[in-house]
Amino acid sequence: MPDSRSMRHPVAPIPSDVHYWFSSDVQFHQLYPEHIQNLAARHWTPLHIANLAIQFLVPYDGVKVLDIGSGVGKFALSAAYYKPKALLYGAEQRGHLVAHAKKARRTLGLENAFFFHLNITQLDFRQFNHFYFYNSFYENLLDNERIDDTITYSPHLYSYYHGILYKKLNEMPIGTRVVTFHCLEGKIPPGYQLIEQHMGTLLKCWMKI
């Protein structure tokens, strides 16, 4: 006989069809607890933006794309869904966000997305082909709408991280592609040419020439 408590509070089955989760942003956010959902509008890439970005970042099968500051994995997971023959990597400084990304990946059953808990300063960019960047360091300039208080914020870190990103992108070979979302001017080295832009100037597609 079923436990009477579980009859009063039935647990909804988790849908196993991956397409179900990608039917809308609202649906996708159900993968996460409420406090993570509440951060989505400000901090996680919308699905239609991820789809636009990944079309540019994956010119051929087998490409390795790094999301620089991957949060709870929304960009990398959706890009992995839209481009199943690409390999998506996420590097994220907050361990608890990486745990959410890995849990969502298991639910979705996507085998071409991988997440690492580390600061991008520790990463050799030459392991990857192309890059996505959703203005990840800007949180250092925000007084409100922060993700949480688990890290130290400072304008110095904003400049420091951008200096490192600039140097790492500068060292990449010709043909490297970068997509920036909501990024300020002057953050991408001059060797990169702006190839396309979408949503006005919010989403920019760059290639090293």
Ligand X SMILES: C[S@@+](CC[C@H](N)C(=O)[O-])C[C@H]1O[C@@H](n2cnc3c(N)ncnc32)[C@H](O)[C@@H]1O
Interaction between residue 115 and ligand X (CB under 6 A): no
Q: Which amino acid is at 86?
A: A
Q: Which of 56, 161, 192, 206 is the binder for ligand X (CB under 6 A)?
A: 161
Helix (H), strand (E) at residue 161: helix 155-170
Residue from 94, 146, 187, 198 that binds ligand X (CB under 6 A)?
A: 94
Are 125 and 64 spatial neighbours (Cβ–Cβ below 8 Å)?
Answer: no
**Piece of the chain touching ligand X by CB under 6 A; list 4-12, 54-62, 67-75, 98-106:** 67-75
Least Å distance, CB 6 to ligand X, is: 35
Our CB check for ligand X shows the closer of 66 and 207 to be 66
Question: Applying CB under 6 A, which of residues 93, 129, 176, 180 lies at the interface with ligand X?
Answer: 93
Applying CB under 6 A, among 21, 28, 56, 75 the residue interacting with ligand X is: 75
Bridge partners of 64?
Answer: 87
Give the chain's end-to-end CA distance (angstroms, integer).
68
* CA-based radius of gyration for the chain: 18
Instruction: Give whole-number Cα distances, 183 to 42, 52, 193, in Å.
Output: 14, 16, 15
Number of residues that bind ligand X (CB under 6 A): 21
Tokens 């089955």 found at = 13
Instruction: Please give the C-alpha separations between residue 196 and each of 57, 164, 177, 179, in angstroms, as whole numbers.
Output: 12, 25, 11, 9
Looking at the Cβ atoms of 67 and 104, the one nearer to ligand X is: 67
Query: Is position 159 an interface residue for ligand X (rule: CB under 6 A)?
Result: no
**130 contributes a contact to ligand X by CB under 6 A:** no
Two structure tokens written together for 43: 């901090």
Pairing of strands 192-198, 203-208: antiparallel
Question: x-or-dash pattern for ligand X, window 165-194, by CB under 6 A?
Answer: ------------------------------
Closer of 118 and 209 to ligand X (Cβ): 118
Query: Would you count residue 97 as binding ligand X (CB under 6 A)?
Result: yes
Segment lying near ligand X (by CB under 6 A), choices 28-36, 63-71, 169-177, 200-208 = 63-71
Is the Cβ–Cβ distance between 191 and 209 less than 8 Å?
Answer: yes
Contact 183, 209 (CB under 8 A): no
Residues near ligand X (CB under 6 A)? 43-45, 67, 69-71, 74-75, 91-94, 97, 119-120, 134, 136-137, 147, 161
